[in-house]
Amino acid sequence: MAGDEVYWPDELFADLDRTGPVPLYFQVSSRLQEAIRSGAIPGGARLDNEISISQRLGLSRPTVRRAIQEVVDKGLLVRRRGIGTQVVQGQVTRQVELTSLYEDLQSAHHEPGTTVLAHDTVPATAVVAEKLGVAKGSDVIYLRRQRRTDGVPVAVLENYLPPEFADITTGQLESHGLYQVLRARGVTIRVAQQKIGARRAQGDEGELLDIEKGGPVLTMERVAYDNSGRAIEYGHHCYRPDMYSFETTLVAK
Amino acid sequence: MAGDEVYWPDELFADLDRTGPVPLYFQVSSRLQEAIRSGAIPGGARLDNEISISQRLGLSRPTVRRAIQEVVDKGLLVRRRGIGTQVVQGQVTRQVELTSLYEDLQSAHHEPGTTVLAHDTVPATAVVAEKLGVAKGSDVIYLRRQRRTDGVPVAVLENYLPPEFADITTGQLESHGLYQVLRARGVTIRVAQQKIGARRAQGDEGELLDIEKGGPVLTMERVAYDNSGRAIEYGHHCYRPDMYSFETTLVAK
DNA sequence: AAGTGGTCTAGACCACATC
DNA sequence: ATGTGGTCTAGACCACTTA
């Protein structure tokens, strides 16, 4: 009765690579996630305890704990002291990643398209200057783009960037996402603060999104920071609500 | 030149409690966050390295690492191998926590109010049954509430719960948030999956939110799971966009 | 009493960035 | 060559849950 319904498919973890660059905890957590998402470990199942797992995998307990914790943080597992570790029931959705809309659409196997509506150097307003951490009135890059998927308009994107990105070309922006362009220049976005809301379509947004004038749009405002904590991008975007939404998984600490 | 602008206010960490129930890493990370949010450690500052910190605090390096990692995960710090740890520049906003709207409003020092519009036992539709993991057509609790802050309507909330919560009273719901009522019964929400979007106000929502008929509303759909991974609540809510928005901090892994 | 996850230690070696 | 964070080990003790 003690060991009822304890799942731990050892065979999934048989060939861990101890020499390559991929951390052991990452190899374990990846395969564990895959096993849960695929249903190989069913919802509600209890996992074996940490000590037993670490012995069977030939890993230390901290390493196994870290692997499990990664999966807990993604909302697929739940841990209780004195009880054990269980798989969350119900269908799982993928996490909101720190990627641009362009990559979101790409990974969803659609054909993204971009029209650059504006691409200028403008003086920073008070708001833009504060968000980017530059002097008010100093030069910043202003972008306005229409984003489509399979020919259907999805979003109108307005971005402000520091002046060092003045040499980004319109052509680059029409064939790649902004974050891809930045990454190709060695800039990695590490942290972003987002605010999601809704309002009526304003000005030419209705036309650009091909929706009724004054119809509802989903809005997102974002400030993104690079490796060193410097603000790299400030944007406020609006999305066609029938074409896009935001998904999140929250885990209580 | 080596030790330029390295911040680490030792005095903030002088009196750590090694006997109480609060983990050491938590004490350190809390005070570190407070120091950053208050500006005591300014944006862009470099932190001292982990070994040095652990020696000065009399803690092991893993404990210090864990404390720092907590702050990194909240988007306040950025770490780079071979470089060090730096404070993210720009104003910081607080994290979206796994709390109910009621508690959000409470903590913002406003006076929340609730009107229960419906409180019934109904047969589960196919969608509700799937989300809650119960049989289609079986009894579930249906709630519809209007939420106000300082007398102004903010949201219309529709929730479905498993039948074991049939004894929740309308009175409880009018003076507390749903999550507070659940917690008082020993149910702790641990994981939630949310989807945020926008649409036009439908039916009586315009009246209930005191906005124009057909005006935009912000929507949120959520499934919440307890300690053991069981689905406890399914809801779809709509919010007055001028009264509410969702803020998130994303950190790349 | 037995079993579980939660915390903490004191090291070790490595990969990466800078000088 | 040096300094940084990233990973990993092999234990220890504790708090909590269940029986």
- Give pLDDT tens digits for A210-231: 999 899 999 999 999 998 999 9
At B37, phi and psi to the nearest 5? -65, -35
pLDDT of B92 reads 63
Measured CA to CA, the distance from residue B155 to residue B146 in angstroms comes to 6
Over residues B8-31, mean pLDDT = 90
Lowest mean pLDDT among B23-32, B68-77, B100-109, B226-235: B100-109
Provide, as residue numbers in chain B, all residues whose Cβ is less than 8 Å from the Cβ of A248: 96, 193-196, 248
Nearest residue: Cα versus C1' of D7: A23
Nucleotide nearest to B83 (CA to C1'): D4
pLDDT of A92 reads 63
Nearest residue: Cα versus C1' of C15: B81
What is the number of alpha carbons within 13 Å of residue A89 lying toward its C-beta?
A: 18
Q: How long is the CA B238 to C1' D5 vector, in angstroms? A: 44
Contact in structure between A27 and A59 (CB atoms under 8 Å): no
A153, β-bridge pairs = A148
Measured CA to CA, the distance from residue B241 to residue A212 in angstroms comes to 19
Nearest residue: Cα versus C1' of D15: A81
> Is B197's CB within 8 Å of A218's CB?
yes
Facing A229 at nearest CB: one of B44, B246, B247: B44
Contact residues, B window 110-169, toward A, CB-based 8 Å cutoff = 130-131, 133
A130-137 contact pairs (CB < 8 A, 24+): A130/B91, A131/A160, A131/A223, A131/A231, A131/A234, A131/B90, A132/A160, A132/A161, A132/A162, A132/A223, A132/A231, A132/A234, A133/A230, A133/A231, A133/B89, A133/B90, A134/A162, A134/A163
Q: Which amino acid is at A218?
A: L
Copy the structure tokens of residue A174.
């029409």
Measured CA to CA, the distance from residue A222 to residue A101 in angstroms comes to 12
B219, β-bridge pairs = B197, B238
Q: For chains A and B, count residue pairs whose Cβ atoms are closer than 8 Å.
A: 176
Contact in structure between A249 and A222 (CB atoms under 8 Å): no
Q: Which amino acid is at A180?
A: Q
Is A30 in CB contact (< 8 Å) with chain B? no
pLDDT of B132 reads 94
Is B191 in CB contact (< 8 Å) with chain A? yes
Measured CA to CA, the distance from residue A158 to residue A208 in angstroms comes to 13
Please tell me whether residue A97 adopts helix, strand or coil conformation.
coil
Q: How long is the CA A62 to C1' D8 vector, in angstroms? A: 8
Total residue length of chain A: 253
> Is A229's CB within 8 Å of B86's CB?
yes
> What does the angle CA B212 – CA B216 – CA B220 come to, to the nearest 5 degrees?
130
Task: Tell whether the model's pLDDT for residue A205 goes beyond 70.
Answer: yes
Q: Of A244, A221, A241, A211, nearest to A108 (Cα)?
A: A244
Total residue length of chain B: 253
Provide, as residue numbers in chain B, all residues whose Cβ is less than 8 Å from the Cβ of A199: 216, 241
Q: Which residue has the tokens 């930045």?
A: A182
Nucleotide nearest to B58 (CA to C1'): C9
Task: Tell whether the model's pLDDT for residue B12 goes beyond 90.
Answer: no
Nucleotide nearest to A81 (CA to C1'): C5
Measured CA to CA, the distance from residue B241 to residue B153 in angstroms comes to 11
> Is B190's CB within 8 Å of A93's CB?
no
Percent of chain A as helix, strand, coil, to the nearest 5:
30, 35, 40
pLDDT of B2 reads 34
The confidence band for B102, taking pLDDT boundaries of 50, 70 and 90, is low
Contact in structure between A233 and A222 (CB atoms under 8 Å): yes
Q: Is B203 left (phi over 0), alpha (psi -120 to 50) or beta?
A: left
Higher per-residue confidence, B8 vs B163: B163
Nucleotides of C under 7 A from a protein CB: 2-12, 15-18
Shortest CA gap A36–chain B (Å): 13
Task: Tell whether the model's pLDDT for residue A2 goes beyond 50.
Answer: no
> Is B75's CB within 8 Å of A250's CB?
no
Name the helix (H) or strand (E) containing A18.
none
Facing B225 at nearest CB: one of A90, A193, A215: A90
Is B45 in CB contact (< 8 Å) with chain A? no
Over residues B5-10, mean pLDDT = 79
Provide, as residue numbers in chain B, all residues whose Cβ is less than 8 Å from the Cβ of A229: 43-44, 77-78, 86-89
Task: Tell whether the model's pLDDT for residue A8 goes beyond 70.
Answer: yes
At B36, phi and psi to the nearest 5? -75, -45
Please tell me whether residue B196 adopts helix, strand or coil conformation.
strand
The confidence band for A1, taking pLDDT boundaries of 50, 70 and 90, is very low
